[in-house]
Structure 1
Amino acid sequence: MSDERWPPVTEATVRDLARSSSYNRGQSYYERGAVGEVVRRGETVRADVEGSQYQPYTVTIEFDDAGVAHTECTCPYDLGGICKHRVAVMLTCLRDPERVDDRPPVSELIEGTSRERLEELLVELAENRPEIAEWIESRLTPVDTTTSDTAVSVNIESIRKRTKHALPKPGQRGHSDAYAEAERMASELDDLIEQAQQALDAGDGETAVEILEAVTEVLATNRWYGLLPYDVTELYETLGLLGETFAEAMLIAELSESEREQWEQRLSEWDEEIRRFTGRPTLAVAADAAREGWDDDRLQQTLDGSLTDGKLEVDEPKFVAGLTTVRLSALERQGRTDEYLNLSRAAGKTQLYAEMLAREGEIQAAVDCATENLSTPQSLLEIAQTLRDTGNLIAALDVAEHGLTVDGFRKARLAEWLRDRAASLGKEDLALRAAIVAFEESPSPSTYQAVEELADDEWDSVRSELLESLREQTPASGHAAEVFLEEGLYDEAVGVADRSGSSRVVKTVVEAVTVHRPQWVIRTCKSNAEPIVEQGKHDSYETAVRWLRYAGEAAREANKLDEWREYVETMRDEHYQKYKLRPMLDDLLEEFRSPVDSEVSSDG
């Protein structure tokens, strides 16, 4: 951005955030002027973008000191990366900064305004916007904070009603909306679980238990499992959060031994019911918490610091938080920092230990712990992000820089994160090194462009090294073909396509090299179409015809159209019994009628 108050966001940053198809469509939206008024208030940009619906979509972009912090759009896109509307707004900010209307943040607007005036404005807004009134009512009605600092009073019957409302409605929505129903259910349950967490924050474990009991009992006693798809991540995360929060409540609430025994039994029974949907334990950790509490002698030795690093045996389950993790959450929520550090260190929870050190201001200790003990890019990235969130940017860069030397999952993500943060702090050499690693780990046009933007005068030599590393990559990344295509290295792109075994990669290269390598396109497209036709895969005939159409376009470029037509006619005649295929091939031949055929037809 041209304004020095903005962090350095580049078009490469936008490319990284979006899939290539979304970026290209977003650029088209930008070029045709689909972005309406762009307003910036503080670190937030909002704009309306004309889309496929009558009403424009609203885009929100939030920035922080090192780049794009968060984005939202009211469109239904959910295919990975940011949507085309967000791309269009970001490109507008980058290319036409003068279009951005800079206005004061709302916090500045209302500063000094009397409470009476603010109430008038809020009432007026709610009267004109019914959804605002409903939002206010949902926030104020269920929870009534009493005069006590440690007790929260709730309407449990309201909690039950809201949980029942969250359940999927049989017959109300079609199958195509089942995913939307699951997401709605997750969202509404999240709001209820948040109320229990607010009670825990106030130290009121008993009220948290009441809320969670009401929610869980409704879930366990109603048959909703068969109404939803089993692959909605949000709902699994919500049910996992329910189990973790219930476990915390068991640890924080003051319960008698008999009450704990009763809760262990109830939670185990409910877990069996909810497992019908999840297929894995959800409330088992809460049952464990009810049974064990804090009474174990070895646990007490750990909390008072008697046990040293890694001396506490921990058996954590997969997919859900185990009891040690939940105990750490409870200790953090209660502000028992020393006990948190003792438990995380003794249990070998090194990442959590380092993160707490960072939050407590023990910055060098956190850096040392992370760089000496953590061995995955993902864990080092999360420590770096924690350090950055606490305002320790240089320490964050140190940890992330160490992550460049470690192999493993999400190394590319760590390198991209470090690249952008280092660039924002003017550490150009580090930013370039991180950019190169990001490209080597995940070659793509966006990571390639990012290196070019940072390399400056060194670009020629760096470019040669990048392309050479791409040639040596085994197996070659599908995006490597896109980089070669951008550089006009068609033979290298063809080689990647041949080795990839991916129809998506082959299609990308075919579309780009039709003019430059028509013989390869013809040969490749035939080899992709023939198995579909030979095996009689009637549901895929359209795909076969699409490959043949690509071959026809290449044949036209190579002046081989007559040979291509003869090939397609032979295929049609040999497979005449495939009634669905024949008319499709006839239509394809009609698309590629030769000039002679056209003249004969017009004369006739």
Structure 2
Amino acid sequence: MKDAALDENAVRALATVESFTRGREYFRRGAVSDLERRGERIVAEVEGREFTSYAVTIELHDGGVAATRCSCPYDWGGACKHIVAVLLKYKETPGAVAERPALADMLGDLDREALMALLVKRAGQDPGLEPWLETELVSGMPGVTGKPPAAIDSKLVRRQAERLLSGGYARRHRWDDVGAVDEEAFAALIDKAKPFLDIGEGRNALKILEPVMEALVPAWREQADFDETLHEFFPPLGQLIAEAVLMSDLLLEERDDLMVRLDVWQGMLDDYGLDACLQVAVDALEQGWDEIGLDDVLAGRSRTWPPSGRSDWTTERLTQARLRVLDVSGRIDAFLYLSSAASRHGDSTAMLVRLGRIDEAVGRAHKWFRSSEETLQLARLLMDAGHVDAALDLAEWGASLAPESNRLAGAASLARWLRDNAGLLGRKELALMAARRAFEASMSLEDFEVAQTLAGADWIELRAGLLTSLAAARHAWERTKIYLSEGMIEDAVRSVDLEMIPGNPSDTVLLRLADIAHASHPGWVVDIAERMAGGIMEAGQSRHYELAAQWLEKAAFAYDAAGRLEDWIARIDFLIEKHRRKHKLRPLLEALRLDVGTL
């Protein structure tokens, strides 16, 4: 099955430059196995380091990627390298994809009795299936029934949350593999409240969120000392509870009861340093829609929120919850007034796009946007809504702004989006401008190479400009790598920060540079190689002794190129004597001594 929208540019857009680059390396070395497609779902295994395999699942829609999951712990934004590797293999080697029937197709012809027998049989083998089904049936199945149930059993929801938190049948493990929590399934249980929030059913949402929180707080306290990610559930849970409270007409005793429980839960979290995680829910209960001055803002009679003009984290979160409720309830004018008064210009422009008020959205962006992230988000919304020219014009404006030093990553993402989309639409001049901006923001080899591909016959001129920018940049993580790729050995040598040596002795860029530069810069190679090898040998890092020998071999070639072979012999003899008690290292050094005649 061909997926026209799933090309390399689409894969690049899903990940950071580093994740894409490493994912491509994983794909090229054959780390992806068991690649299957079932309907709109791709599954595969990816071999990581130290023989660890990760399970990847990719959901497709309209030929593109709708959602991705990987069992690795990566959470730095965008798709991880394993997902990139799977997508590249899927795209580049269609013959390696095993086509399997989708689950719906396999079950479609079964009658009720056969399907029930199959579920009962599986439930006998999987202790988690029966309680999961029970919770599904009592907490809403909008995708199946088309409407939520009349009542939700909070006791069953809490029981299922406790089962998941106990780790009895988890798929994802913590570092110690003991009592692991199935975080993916737990997140799915929380998500069951969202369809109710989408239709303004705050009470039903609370019947899911409250028992989930009631189970989570004590479970987390038991493992707080070695928790790595479970605490991350508290802020979004507090946010969802705030939304549910704001859209529910709770009785006074109901509000008091929930307030007491929120205070108890937050107090238990305070003991472990998780301050104010649930404060937004507390604020929603205490202030609701009655906060002084809020009515004036919602009616457009005031242009500043909060009235003091000063906002903190919890105030921002409460404003976000209020905007969400205003949106769901269809109070669009109030939404626009509040988002504008609170300087949430990304929210207001997104709403304007939804309303078809494109010129107004773009004008507001030009007036108020100060970050590349906001510009990129709006440009994507415009593109998705079919306003292609407006999206490209906005992105071009955003890419022309000088980014702050701490926002270079956002500037690079915006420029890449503009580069890729302008290129696809045949806007070469715009694509080249964006390619240059992307490189100036990232200083990465990946963006350098993409610019070369786009430039074609214009590459010579563009290359000169990119290299000038590279030379002038204060910080460029891949500076040496780029010079090396361009055969600029002198510049590559000068770009190495000697104060950082020894740094990472397995740095493949430095290893390659030492290989190439040993004849033209023998003294430099000797210095670098001996520092790298010395760091390993002096520290007694036996697992890296072979790497130390690799560095010393490069030193040997440099000594020979400089006509100093006798100095090398004296040096290796000294090292053999110095490290004679290191039984794993000494044979490697002696082998280098014996290889002198082959130089």
* TM-score tier (shorter): 0.7 to 0.9
Residue from 567, 573, 577 that aligns with 2:571: 567
Answer yes or no: is the 8 Å Cα contact 1:151–1:204 preserved in 2.
no
Which secondary structure state, in structure 1, belongs to the residue aligned with residue 151 of structure 2? strand
2:161 maps to 163
1:384 maps to 379
Which secondary structure state, in structure 1, belongs to the residue aligned with residue 468 of structure 2? helix
Q: How does 1:142-161 map to 2 (within 5 A)?
A: 142-143=138-139, 152-161=150-159
Cα distance in 2 for residues equivalent to 1:489 and 1:347? 52
Residue from 513, 517, 525 that aligns with 1:521: 525
Identify if the C-alpha distance between structure 1 residues 213 and 89 changes in structure 2 by more than 3 Å, giving closer, same or farther: closer
What is the CA distance between 1:225 and its match in structure 2?
A: 4.3
Identify if the C-alpha distance between structure 1 residues 470 and 239 changes in structure 2 by more than 3 Å, giving closer, same or farther: same
Which secondary structure state, in structure 2, belongs to the residue aligned with residue 206 of structure 1? helix
Which secondary structure state, in structure 2, belongs to the residue aligned with residue 60 of structure 1? strand
Cα distance in 2 for residues equivalent to 1:35 and 1:452? 32
Q: Does 1:46 align with 2:42?
A: yes
Answer yes or no: is the 8 Å Cα contact 2:56–2:82 preserved in 1.
no
1:428-452, Cα deviation, whole Å (9 max, x unpaired): 2222211111111112222112111
What is the CA distance between 1:453 and its match in structure 2?
A: 1.3
1:444 maps to 444
1:352 maps to 347
2:433 maps to 433
Task: State which drifts further: 195-204 or 373-382.
Answer: 195-204
Q: Flag structure 1 segments of 5+ consecutive residues without an equivalent.
A: 599-604
- 1:167 partner letter: L
Cα distance in 1 for residues equivalent to 2:544 and 2:327? 56
Answer yes or no: is the 8 Å Cα contact 1:178–1:229 preserved in 2.
no
Identify if the C-alpha distance between structure 1 residues 481 and 70 changes in structure 2 by more than 3 Å, giving closer, same or farther: farther
Identify if the C-alpha distance between structure 1 residues 318 and 293 changes in structure 2 by more than 3 Å, giving closer, same or farther: closer
Cα distance in 1 for residues equivalent to 2:499 and 2:23? 23
Which secondary structure state, in structure 1, belongs to the residue aligned with residue 293 of structure 2? helix
1:25 maps to 26
1:412 maps to 412
Residue from 243, 248, 273 that aligns with 2:243: 248
2:587 maps to 587
Cα distance in 1 for residues equivalent to 2:339 and 2:210? 29
1:341-391, Cα deviation, whole Å (9 max, x unpaired): 111111221121112212222222111111221111112112222323333
Q: How does 1:219-258 map to 2 (within 5 A)?
A: 219-222=216-219, 224-227=221-224, 229-232=226-229, 235-258=230-253
1:482 maps to 481
What is the CA distance between 1:396 and its match in structure 2?
A: 2.3
Task: State which drifts further: 450-459 or 325-334.
Answer: 325-334
User: CA RMSD for the aligned pairs?
Assistant: 4.4
Cα distance in 1 for residues equivalent to 2:485 and 2:498? 19
Cα distance in 2 for residues equivalent to 1:530 and 1:54? 31
Q: Does 1:551 align with 2:559?
A: no
Cα distance in 1 for residues equivalent to 2:572 and 2:315? 56
- 2:459 partner letter: W
Answer yes or no: is the 8 Å Cα contact 2:140–2:192 preserved in 1.
no
2:497 maps to 498
1:329 maps to 324
Cα distance in 1 for residues equivalent to 2:355 and 2:193? 26
TM-score, structure 2 normalization = 0.80
What is the CA distance between 1:158 and its match in structure 2?
A: 0.8
Cα distance in 2 for residues equivalent to 1:150 and 1:402? 45
Which secondary structure state, in structure 1, belongs to the residue aligned with residue 58 of structure 2? strand
Identify if the C-alpha distance between structure 1 residues 71 and 564 changes in structure 2 by more than 3 Å, giving closer, same or farther: farther
Answer yes or no: is the 8 Å Cα contact 1:328–1:340 preserved in 2.
yes
What is the CA distance between 1:412 and its match in structure 2?
A: 0.7
Which secondary structure state, in structure 2, belongs to the residue aligned with residue 224 of structure 1? helix
Query: Quick one: percent identity of the two aligned structures?
Result: 25
Identify if the C-alpha distance between structure 1 residues 320 and 594 changes in structure 2 by more than 3 Å, giving closer, same or farther: farther
Answer yes or no: is the 8 Å Cα contact 1:302–1:312 preserved in 2.
no
Answer yes or no: is the 8 Å Cα contact 2:432–2:454 preserved in 1.
yes
Q: Relative CO higher for 1 or 2, CA cutoff 8 Å, sep ≥ 6? A: 1
Answer yes or no: is the 8 Å Cα contact 2:279–2:314 preserved in 1.
no
TM-score, structure 1 normalization = 0.80
Cα distance in 2 for residues equivalent to 1:40 and 1:151? 30
What is the CA distance between 1:57 and its match in structure 2?
A: 6.0
Answer yes or no: is the 8 Å Cα contact 2:266–2:276 preserved in 1.
yes
Which secondary structure state, in structure 2, belongs to the residue aligned with residue 141 of structure 1? helix
Q: Flag structure 2 segments of 5+ consecutive residues without an equivalent.
A: none
Answer yes or no: is the 8 Å Cα contact 2:138–2:152 preserved in 1.
yes
Q: How does 1:106-505 map to 2 (within 5 A)?
A: 137=133, 140-143=136-139, 152-168=150-166, 177-178=175-176, 184-222=181-219, 224-227=221-224, 229-232=226-229, 235-277=230-272, 279-308=274-303, 312-313=307-308, 315-318=310-313, 322-406=317-401, 407-408=403-404, 409=407, 410-475=410-475, 477-498=476-497, 501=500, 503-504=503-504
Identify if the C-alpha distance between structure 1 residues 20 and 275 changes in structure 2 by more than 3 Å, giving closer, same or farther: same
What is the CA distance between 1:180 and its match in structure 2?
A: 8.9
What is the CA distance between 1:303 and its match in structure 2?
A: 1.1
Between the two proteins, the alignment pairs up a number of residues equal to: 574
Cα distance in 1 for residues equivalent to 2:220 and 2:227? 15
Answer yes or no: is the 8 Å Cα contact 2:245–2:284 preserved in 1.
yes
Cα distance in 2 for residues equivalent to 1:168 and 1:223? 10
Task: State which drifts further: 187-196 or 560-569.
Answer: 560-569
1:527-583, Cα deviation, whole Å (9 max, x unpaired): 3444666xx644x4655773453132341465366644532442454577xx6xx33
Identify if the C-alpha distance between structure 1 residues 451 and 315 changes in structure 2 by more than 3 Å, giving closer, same or farther: same
Cα distance in 1 for residues equivalent to 2:52 and 2:117? 27
Q: Does 1:90 align with 2:88?
A: yes
Task: State which drifts further: 505-514 or 515-524.
Answer: 505-514
Identify if the C-alpha distance between structure 1 residues 384 and 332 changes in structure 2 by more than 3 Å, giving closer, same or farther: same
1:464-491, Cα deviation, whole Å (9 max, x unpaired): 221222122223x221222211111122
Which secondary structure state, in structure 1, belongs to the residue aligned with residue 515 of structure 2? coil
Cα distance in 2 for residues equivalent to 1:10 and 1:339? 39
- 1:384 partner letter: A
- 2:194 partner letter: Q
1:53-81, Cα deviation, whole Å (9 max, x unpaired): 8999666374768x7665455x6474865
Which secondary structure state, in structure 2, belongs to the residue aligned with residue 254 of structure 1? coil
What is the CA distance between 1:39 and its match in structure 2?
A: 5.4
Identify if the C-alpha distance between structure 1 residues 294 and 517 changes in structure 2 by more than 3 Å, giving closer, same or farther: same
1:108-150, Cα deviation, whole Å (9 max, x unpaired): x89xx9x876868966875787679669825633325899978
Cα distance in 2 for residues equivalent to 1:365 and 1:487? 46
1:577-601, Cα deviation, whole Å (9 max, x unpaired): xx6xx33431321332425899xxx
- 1:211 partner letter: I
